[in-house]
A and B are shown apart, each in its own frame.
Chain A
Amino acid sequence: MRPAQAAAPPGTDLEARPRPRSPWDLFLTFTLIALQSFGGALVIIERTVVHSKRWYDEREFVGIYAISQVLPGPTGIALCVLMGDHFFGIRGAAAALAGFILIPSLIVLGIAAVFEQFVHVPWVQGALQGMGAASIGIVLLLAWRLSRTLYGNRIGVVVAALSFVAVALGHWPVGTVVLSIGVGSVWLAWRRGGPSSGGPSSGSPVRNSGPSAPGGA
């Protein structure tokens, strides 16, 4: 991603790492992160907590990001909770999470309310049609970028195809898909992994999303 400031090898830093001063500090930081996120909060989160605040080094962030992806909750929410909890327990988790969604949700609801006020004006309807179509294009783009990461991974392609068919054509609930196809796929990965397999520590954590990636959080 942005390797410029990640040059110092992880773990060699003997000084105490900076940390948020209070849950309030966490709240403000995650509010600012959220307000800078026009589509794709993950890149901004990484930039803030790794590069500018230095609360985590690159390797720690990769680990916590991997956990956020696979354990319950959408990735962005899970990241906030884990980071907040790391510094201030449940109060920190609540503060980071609230910062991430409170003010942004008021803003987006305000915008939605304005649109709704004028929804009968023809050009407003046209604008919404255009925005809706573009957002579909953006979702499609993210799906395309993610799919390309499966290149050369035959089992992954099969698992993704099965999941797609199950949800889109078979109308399976997401939970059923995860508990059947997902569990099978994890079992295969576990067996292939071998006990000496390294942790989730390779590459940039948000490389699949790219700087302009939407939908990530």
Chain B
Amino acid sequence: MSGQELLALFAHFFSLAIFATGGAIGLASDMHRYVVDEHAYITHTQFVNSIALAQSAPGPNLLFVTVMGWQIAGALGALTTTCAIAAPALILPLVVSRLSGLAQFDRLIAALKRGLGPVAIGLMVASSYLLVRETPGQWKGLLIIAATFLLGLLTRLPPALLIVLAGASGALISW
């Protein structure tokens, strides 16, 4: 991957992080369009694997971005995507110290939260829609998705455990 492409990748993830409202997974659908559909840096399977590995390993889930970068361009790629996602937040202290002087700061944050919350939810649903829609046609994948969803909904089993269990079943069955 050329330096120019890395720079463009950085710029794209950086701009996504600026507009992130809620968690990083809400950005997955936009990221997928960039790294899988438009540039074909990685396959859809690799994209999903990066989410699965980050969710099952210790550490914040947003590290799927790190795994994705690593799959795209090795260590340099991992550094690129991770820094791009983390960097915009570094201006926060400055923003907050400026804004918090405002008489209506609390009202502003409340309005932002109430206004952007539903947008974040729409983004999350878009990410899950993309992931489910692109599940490789086999019914086994859909069955595991459904089983995980229901187990997560009905029991208090931690997500990482569900993923490890699904990994074990996936290793045993023939696909």
Please report A residues at the B interface, Cβ cutoff 8 Å. 34-41, 63, 66-78, 80-82, 85, 89-90, 93-94, 97, 100-101, 103-105, 107-109, 111-112, 115, 123-144, 146-147, 149-150, 153, 155-157, 159-164, 166-168, 171, 173-175, 177-179, 181-182, 185-190, 192-195, 197-200, 211-217
User: What's the nearest-Cβ distance from chain B to residue A155, in Å?
Assistant: 8
Q: What total of chain B residues lie within 8 Å of the partner, measured CB to CB?
A: 111
**What secondary structure prevails in chain B residues at the interface with A?**
helix
**Which residues in B have their C-beta under 8 angstroms from that of A216?**
23, 61
Bound-state CA distance A53–B149 (Å) is 34
Are B93 and A90 in contact (CB-based, < 8 A)? yes
Q: Of residues 114 to 130 in B, which have CB atoms within 8 Å of A's CB atoms? A: 114-130
Are B145 and A137 in contact (CB-based, < 8 A)? yes
**Which residues in A have their C-beta under 8 angstroms from that of B66?**
101, 105, 108-109
Are B110 and A217 in contact (CB-based, < 8 A)? no
Are A72 and B51 in contact (CB-based, < 8 A)? no
Partner of A163 from the list B95, B126, B141 (CB cut-off 8 Å) is B126
Bound-state CA distance A40–B109 (Å) is 23
Q: Given A78-B92, A174-B16, decide whether A197 and B23 contact each other with a Cβ distance below 8 A.
A: no
Are A130 and B85 in contact (CB-based, < 8 A)? no
Complex A-B: 5 CB contacts under 8 Å: A69-B117, A85-B92, A140-B128, A159-B118, A174-B20
Are A144 and B153 in contact (CB-based, < 8 A)? yes
Bound-state CA distance A189–B147 (Å) is 38
Q: Is B1 an interface residue (CB 8 A)?
A: no
Are A72 and B17 in contact (CB-based, < 8 A)? yes
Are A41 and B61 in contact (CB-based, < 8 A)? yes
Q: Given A101-B59, A108-B66, A134-B145, decide whether A212 and B126 contact each other with a Cβ distance below 8 A.
A: no
Are B57 and A107 in contact (CB-based, < 8 A)? yes
**Which residues in A have their C-beta under 8 angstroms from that of B156?**
211-212
**Which residues in B have their C-beta under 8 angstroms from that of A181?**
119, 122
**Which residues in A have their C-beta under 8 angstroms from that of B61?**
37, 39-41, 214-217
**Which residues in B have their C-beta under 8 angstroms from that of A215?**
23-25, 55, 61, 124
Are A163 and B118 in contact (CB-based, < 8 A)? yes
- With A138-B55, A212-B158, A214-B55 known, 19 other A-B pairs at CB within 8 A are A67-B109, A70-B113, A73-B18, A100-B60, A101-B82, A108-B53, A108-B54, A124-B171, A126-B173, A132-B51, A133-B140, A135-B52, A139-B127, A149-B117, A175-B15, A177-B123, A178-B116, A212-B159, A215-B124
Are A138 and B148 in contact (CB-based, < 8 A)? yes
